[in-house]
Structure 1
Amino acid sequence: MIRVLLVDDQALMRMGFRLVLEAEDDLEVVGEAGDGGTAVDQVRALAPDVVLMDVRMPGTNGIDATRQITAAHPGTRVLILTTFDLDEYAFAALRAGASGFMLKDARPTELVAAVRAVASGDAVVSPRVTRRMLEMFAGALPRPAAPPADDQDPRLASLTPREREVLVHVAEGASNGEIASRLQLSEATVKTHVGRILAKLAARDRVQAVVLAYETGLVGPRAP
């Protein structure tokens, strides 16, 4: 059973999400919160698997709440709810530790699939959308003052040359299938490489690995 906490300052929105999720046999809504501060308290008390988090709320916003939750409760995944697919707030929440984002007007089937994906450890932001967001807000990413002598950020030192190559393709928005085709590997092998990359970088999921690739300068936004 996947335990879900709903966080939104609109009670009708929470009710709609609850009706959709509780219609599924494997999903259970264990609590609700109308602001980020209450959400942090609810996560501590209820230990949900997934938090559906609005970003724009009175008091503690969803970004700060996400940062606190992911830092203190690594087993709890946060799925951001946003009105716009390129919302700067959603991007900030990804950097704060969220595992993905989705639009509030998503179809019920999309919401259910997203919750299941996040609970299983996957990210629900498509690679291409992730790249578009990172390119749009690349100026907000901290960049190294000067690259190391070997032109490699210390955070990437544990990666093999092949893993670095795979990470570049991931950050450029390629799916596992596309990477397999480009590098002439099986999709299963690419999936294994991605798993090792996440483990070595201590990244919660694919989204966090992409953010790190931009932060370290491994890849950069393309010119318009």
Structure 2
Amino acid sequence: MINVMVVEDEKMTRTVMQDLFAIHGGFDLIASAENGKEALRRAKINPPDVILMDVHMPVMNGINATRKIKSINQDIKIILLYEKPEEEIVIEALIAGVDGFLLTTADFSHVVQSIHDVLNDQVILSGEISRILARRVTELQYTKKDVLKRKLEERHISLSPRELDVAYQLLENKTNHQIAKELFLSEGTVKNYISHLYGKTAIKHRKELVQYLRYLLN
């Protein structure tokens, strides 16, 4: 018998899951919770084998709950339920220790198979999440400047090598004087390059330009 906990803020979803597990057999739904904080409390009292955890919940979300539960019991397997894969959430969830991901719309047979898979120490990844991870691994092969160049080109913004150098220096919060010294340019030339960046990005202020460049790297 596999002990399962369902953590989902939608009551109807919890009820449906309870009925499905009861019909299927081989599972004991020992607890359900409507947020991560309640899941943490219940996991301390009666640890399940597997937790099906929604990612977006009030009070405490699925990622924070995963991190806390894993810190007290690494043996509990946690499958994160999501509607749409978001890159930062996927990375953060894996760092927190999640054992797999499932679409909230997955059919129950897929849920059952995923539970068995994580109990056999497999990590459950959908095709879309695998693509997210592959893209992140590829980015690790490049310098931050290379990534910035690619992100800009994806938005049809093409910079010359020197413009890219200046953009990268702006990311480091350097003044025009510091940039000029670093790149062996005059301050006037640096100002010209920054003007080019304003024109190509359609941004008029330095602070907004820096924020935009940082956004591209996140």
Q: What TM bracket, shorter-length normalisation?
A: 0.5 to 0.7
| Deviations 1:85-134, CA, capped at 9 Å, x for gaps | 446424421221000100000011111111121122222215x5443122
Change (3 A) 1:137 1:19: farther
- Given the two structures, how large is their TM-score scaled by the length of structure 1? 0.57
Contact 2:81 2:103 in 1 (8 A): yes
The runs of at least 4 consecutive aligned structure 1 residues that moved more than 4 Å come to 135-141
Which position in structure 1 is the counterpart of 2:96?
Answer: 96
What is the one-letter code of the residue matched to 1:34? E
Q: Give distance in 2, aligned partners of 1:28 and 1:119.
A: 15
Output one character per residue of 1:37-91: Cα deviation in whole Å (capped at 9) or x when no partner.
1101111111100000011111111110000111210110100000014464244
Find out whether 1:40 has 2:57 as its counterpart. no
AA partner of residue 106 (structure 2): A
1:68 counterpart residue number: 68
Instruction: Classify 1:131/1:124 alpha carbon distance in 2 versus 1 (closer, same or farther; 3 Å).
Output: closer
The answer to whether the 8 Å contact 1:55/1:80 transfers is yes
Identical-pair percentage: 29
Instruction: Give the alignment's TM-score, normalised by structure 2.
Output: 0.59
Matched, 1:111 2:103: no
Higher helix share: 2
Higher relative contact order structure (alpha carbons within 8 Å, sequence separation ≥ 6):
1
Alignment partner of 2:39: what SS? helix
CA distance in 2, matches of 1:45, 1:101: 25
3-state DSSP of counterpart to 2:23: coil
Larger Rg belongs to: 2
Letter of the 1:25 counterpart: G
Distance of 2:84 and 2:139 partners within structure 1: 19
Task: Say yes or no: does 1:8 pair with 2:8.
Answer: yes
Q: Distance in 2 between matches of 1:117 and 1:131?
A: 17
Q: Alignment partner of 1:48: what SS?
A: coil
Deviates more, 1:25-34 or 1:129-138: 129-138
CA contact (8 A) 2:85 2:129 kept: no
Deviations 1:152-204 (Å, cap 9, x if unpaired)? xxxxxxxxxxxxxxxxxxxxxxxxxxxxxxxxxxxxxxxxxxxxxxxxxxxxx
CA contact (8 A) 1:80 1:90 kept: no
1:131 and 2:130 correspond: yes
**Number of residue pairs aligned between Structure 1 and Structure 2:** 143
Alpha-carbon distance in structure 2 between the residues aligned to 1:92 and 1:63: 7
2:29 & 2:91 partners in 1: Cα distance?
Answer: 26
Consecutive unaligned residues in structure 2, runs of 5 or more: 143-218
Query: Where do 1:73-88 residues align within 5 Å?
Result: 73-86=73-86, 88=88
* Counterpart position of 2:210: none
Flag structure 1 segments of 5+ consecutive residues without an equivalent: 144-224
Report the Cα distance in structure 2 between the residues aligned to 1:12 and 1:139, rounded to whole angstroms.
41
